[in-house]
Amino acid sequence: MTIYSIVLFIHVVSAIGLFISLAAEGAIIFRIRSAHSVEALRFFIRVFQRLRLVAIPSFLGVLVGGMYLASKWGRGVFWIPLALGATLLILLIGGLVTGIRIARLKKVLSSTENDASIEALSAMTKDTALLLSYGLRVGLGLGILFLMTAKPELLGSLGALAAGCGAGLLGAAWMRQASNRIGKVHCLWSQARSLKAGQKARFEEAQL
Protein backbone atom coordinates (compact mmCIF):
# COMPACT_ATOMS: atom_id res chain seq x y z
CA MET A 1 0.00 0.00 0.00
CA THR A 2 1.39 3.36 -1.06
CA ILE A 3 0.60 6.97 -0.13
CA TYR A 4 -0.92 7.36 -3.59
CA SER A 5 -3.43 4.54 -3.02
CA ILE A 6 -4.38 5.91 0.41
CA VAL A 7 -4.93 9.41 -0.96
CA LEU A 8 -6.92 8.00 -3.88
CA PHE A 9 -9.14 6.07 -1.47
CA ILE A 10 -9.74 9.18 0.68
CA HIS A 11 -10.45 11.20 -2.46
CA VAL A 12 -13.08 8.73 -3.72
CA VAL A 13 -14.74 8.36 -0.30
CA SER A 14 -14.82 12.15 0.06
CA ALA A 15 -16.45 12.48 -3.36
CA ILE A 16 -19.14 10.00 -2.29
CA GLY A 17 -19.68 11.98 0.92
CA LEU A 18 -19.93 15.18 -1.08
CA PHE A 19 -22.72 13.84 -3.26
CA ILE A 20 -24.53 12.39 -0.24
CA SER A 21 -24.44 15.80 1.47
CA LEU A 22 -25.67 17.53 -1.71
CA ALA A 23 -28.55 15.06 -2.03
CA ALA A 24 -29.48 15.56 1.62
CA GLU A 25 -29.26 19.34 1.21
CA GLY A 26 -31.68 19.21 -1.71
CA ALA A 27 -34.23 17.31 0.38
CA ILE A 28 -33.82 19.78 3.27
CA ILE A 29 -34.16 22.87 1.07
CA PHE A 30 -37.29 21.33 -0.44
CA ARG A 31 -38.76 20.90 3.04
CA ILE A 32 -37.71 24.40 4.09
CA ARG A 33 -39.56 25.87 1.11
CA SER A 34 -42.70 23.83 1.85
CA ALA A 35 -42.61 24.08 5.67
CA HIS A 36 -46.04 24.80 7.14
CA SER A 37 -45.01 25.98 10.61
CA VAL A 38 -42.21 27.87 12.33
CA GLU A 39 -41.45 24.83 14.48
CA ALA A 40 -40.99 22.62 11.42
CA LEU A 41 -38.82 25.28 9.80
CA ARG A 42 -36.59 25.42 12.88
CA PHE A 43 -36.18 21.64 12.76
CA PHE A 44 -35.03 21.59 9.14
CA ILE A 45 -32.65 24.50 9.71
CA ARG A 46 -31.03 22.50 12.54
CA VAL A 47 -30.75 19.45 10.29
CA PHE A 48 -29.22 21.60 7.55
CA GLN A 49 -26.57 22.91 9.92
CA ARG A 50 -25.61 19.38 10.95
CA LEU A 51 -24.84 18.58 7.32
CA ARG A 52 -21.56 20.41 7.85
CA LEU A 53 -20.30 17.36 9.72
CA VAL A 54 -20.33 15.50 6.40
CA ALA A 55 -19.98 18.31 3.86
CA ILE A 56 -16.88 20.09 5.17
CA PRO A 57 -14.66 16.98 5.61
CA SER A 58 -15.85 15.76 2.20
CA PHE A 59 -14.90 19.04 0.52
CA LEU A 60 -11.49 19.00 2.18
CA GLY A 61 -10.90 15.39 1.20
CA VAL A 62 -11.87 16.03 -2.42
CA LEU A 63 -9.84 19.22 -2.67
CA VAL A 64 -6.66 18.13 -0.87
CA GLY A 65 -6.74 14.68 -2.42
CA GLY A 66 -7.32 16.16 -5.85
CA MET A 67 -4.37 18.53 -5.45
CA TYR A 68 -2.10 15.65 -4.46
CA LEU A 69 -3.23 13.46 -7.35
CA ALA A 70 -2.84 16.40 -9.75
CA SER A 71 0.76 16.85 -8.63
CA LYS A 72 1.45 13.22 -9.55
CA TRP A 73 -0.10 12.94 -13.00
CA GLY A 74 -1.81 16.21 -13.78
CA ARG A 75 0.81 17.80 -16.05
CA GLY A 76 -0.35 18.47 -19.59
CA VAL A 77 -4.05 17.78 -18.98
CA PHE A 78 -6.84 20.32 -18.68
CA TRP A 79 -9.58 18.48 -16.84
CA ILE A 80 -7.74 18.28 -13.50
CA PRO A 81 -7.27 22.04 -12.87
CA LEU A 82 -10.82 22.63 -14.14
CA ALA A 83 -12.18 20.00 -11.75
CA LEU A 84 -10.26 21.54 -8.84
CA GLY A 85 -11.49 25.01 -9.80
CA ALA A 86 -15.06 23.74 -9.99
CA THR A 87 -14.65 22.18 -6.53
CA LEU A 88 -13.52 25.54 -5.12
CA LEU A 89 -16.45 27.20 -6.88
CA ILE A 90 -18.87 24.78 -5.19
CA LEU A 91 -17.37 25.73 -1.83
CA LEU A 92 -17.57 29.47 -2.55
CA ILE A 93 -21.16 29.39 -3.82
CA GLY A 94 -22.27 27.26 -0.89
CA GLY A 95 -20.67 29.55 1.66
CA LEU A 96 -21.43 32.94 0.17
CA VAL A 97 -24.97 32.25 -1.05
CA THR A 98 -26.55 29.34 0.82
CA GLY A 99 -24.57 29.68 4.04
CA ILE A 100 -25.31 33.38 4.50
CA ARG A 101 -29.03 33.00 3.79
CA ILE A 102 -29.47 30.01 6.09
CA ALA A 103 -27.60 31.86 8.87
CA ARG A 104 -29.86 34.89 8.34
CA LEU A 105 -32.96 32.70 8.47
CA LYS A 106 -31.73 31.01 11.65
CA LYS A 107 -31.17 34.41 13.25
CA VAL A 108 -34.72 35.49 12.43
CA LEU A 109 -36.13 32.20 13.74
CA SER A 110 -34.28 32.60 17.03
CA SER A 111 -36.34 35.73 17.76
CA THR A 112 -39.64 34.36 16.42
CA GLU A 113 -42.30 32.59 18.46
CA ASN A 114 -43.59 29.14 17.50
CA ASP A 115 -47.10 30.48 16.92
CA ALA A 116 -45.90 33.10 14.44
CA SER A 117 -47.22 32.90 10.90
CA ILE A 118 -45.03 30.98 8.47
CA GLU A 119 -46.24 33.36 5.75
CA ALA A 120 -44.24 36.13 7.42
CA LEU A 121 -41.06 34.17 6.65
CA SER A 122 -42.02 33.02 3.16
CA ALA A 123 -39.84 35.64 1.45
CA MET A 124 -36.79 34.07 3.11
CA THR A 125 -37.77 30.40 2.88
CA LYS A 126 -38.68 30.73 -0.81
CA ASP A 127 -35.59 32.74 -1.74
CA THR A 128 -34.72 31.83 -5.34
CA ALA A 129 -31.02 32.25 -4.57
CA LEU A 130 -31.11 29.11 -2.41
CA LEU A 131 -32.33 27.03 -5.34
CA LEU A 132 -29.93 28.65 -7.82
CA SER A 133 -27.02 27.99 -5.48
CA TYR A 134 -28.07 24.39 -5.02
CA GLY A 135 -28.67 23.79 -8.72
CA LEU A 136 -25.30 25.23 -9.72
CA ARG A 137 -23.42 23.20 -7.12
CA VAL A 138 -25.13 19.96 -8.10
CA GLY A 139 -24.44 20.73 -11.75
CA LEU A 140 -20.78 21.44 -11.06
CA GLY A 141 -20.59 18.20 -9.10
CA LEU A 142 -22.00 16.25 -12.04
CA GLY A 143 -19.55 18.00 -14.35
CA ILE A 144 -16.64 17.08 -12.07
CA LEU A 145 -17.81 13.47 -12.01
CA PHE A 146 -17.81 13.42 -15.81
CA LEU A 147 -14.32 14.93 -15.94
CA MET A 148 -13.02 12.28 -13.55
CA THR A 149 -14.41 9.44 -15.65
CA ALA A 150 -14.06 10.68 -19.25
CA LYS A 151 -10.91 12.86 -18.83
CA PRO A 152 -11.77 15.07 -21.84
CA GLU A 153 -9.71 17.83 -23.44
CA LEU A 154 -10.19 21.53 -22.71
CA LEU A 155 -13.33 22.16 -24.79
CA GLY A 156 -14.92 18.92 -23.67
CA SER A 157 -14.19 19.74 -20.04
CA LEU A 158 -15.70 23.22 -20.32
CA GLY A 159 -18.71 21.82 -22.16
CA ALA A 160 -19.23 19.13 -19.50
CA LEU A 161 -19.18 21.70 -16.70
CA ALA A 162 -21.57 23.99 -18.60
CA ALA A 163 -23.94 21.11 -19.37
CA GLY A 164 -23.83 20.02 -15.74
CA CYS A 165 -24.74 23.52 -14.58
CA GLY A 166 -27.62 23.60 -17.04
CA ALA A 167 -28.93 20.27 -15.79
CA GLY A 168 -28.59 21.43 -12.19
CA LEU A 169 -30.54 24.61 -12.86
CA LEU A 170 -33.30 22.61 -14.56
CA GLY A 171 -33.49 20.42 -11.48
CA ALA A 172 -33.69 23.53 -9.28
CA ALA A 173 -36.55 24.84 -11.40
CA TRP A 174 -38.41 21.57 -10.92
CA MET A 175 -37.83 21.76 -7.17
CA ARG A 176 -39.28 25.27 -7.15
CA GLN A 177 -42.46 24.22 -8.94
CA ALA A 178 -42.92 21.07 -6.83
CA SER A 179 -42.40 22.85 -3.49
CA ASN A 180 -44.76 25.65 -4.54
CA ARG A 181 -47.44 23.10 -5.43
CA ILE A 182 -47.06 21.36 -2.09
CA GLY A 183 -47.31 24.72 -0.31
CA LYS A 184 -50.51 25.60 -2.16
CA VAL A 185 -52.05 22.19 -1.42
CA HIS A 186 -51.26 22.56 2.28
CA CYS A 187 -52.69 26.09 2.29
CA LEU A 188 -55.95 24.85 0.76
CA TRP A 189 -56.06 21.96 3.22
CA SER A 190 -55.55 24.35 6.15
CA GLN A 191 -58.29 26.64 4.89
CA ALA A 192 -60.67 23.71 4.47
CA ARG A 193 -59.88 22.47 7.98
CA SER A 194 -60.45 25.95 9.43
CA LEU A 195 -63.75 26.26 7.56
CA LYS A 196 -64.88 22.86 8.77
CA ALA A 197 -63.95 23.76 12.36
CA GLY A 198 -65.90 27.01 12.07
CA GLN A 199 -68.97 25.26 10.72
CA LYS A 200 -68.79 22.71 13.55
CA ALA A 201 -68.54 25.49 16.15
CA ARG A 202 -71.53 27.31 14.68
CA PHE A 203 -73.54 24.08 14.61
CA GLU A 204 -72.75 23.41 18.28
CA GLU A 205 -73.78 26.98 19.18
CA ALA A 206 -77.04 26.53 17.31
CA GLN A 207 -77.73 23.31 19.22
CA LEU A 208 -77.36 25.18 22.47
pLDDT score at 100 = 92
pLDDT score at 189 = 46
pLDDT score at 90 = 93
pLDDT score at 2 = 86
Residue 155 lies in a domain: yes
| 91 Cβ contact list (under 8 Å, min separation 6) | 59, 63
Q: Are 22 and 141 spatial neighbours (Cβ–Cβ below 8 Å)? A: yes
Tell me the residue range of the domain where 12 lies.
3-179
Q: How many domains does the chain have?
A: 1
Spans in the chain with pLDDT lower than 50: 188-189, 191-192
Residue 186 lies in a domain: no
114: number of Cβ within 10 Å = 10
pLDDT score at 177 = 86
User: What is the tens place of the pLDDT at every residue in 21-71?
Assistant: 999 999 999 888 888 778 888 899 999 999 989 999 999 999 898 888 888
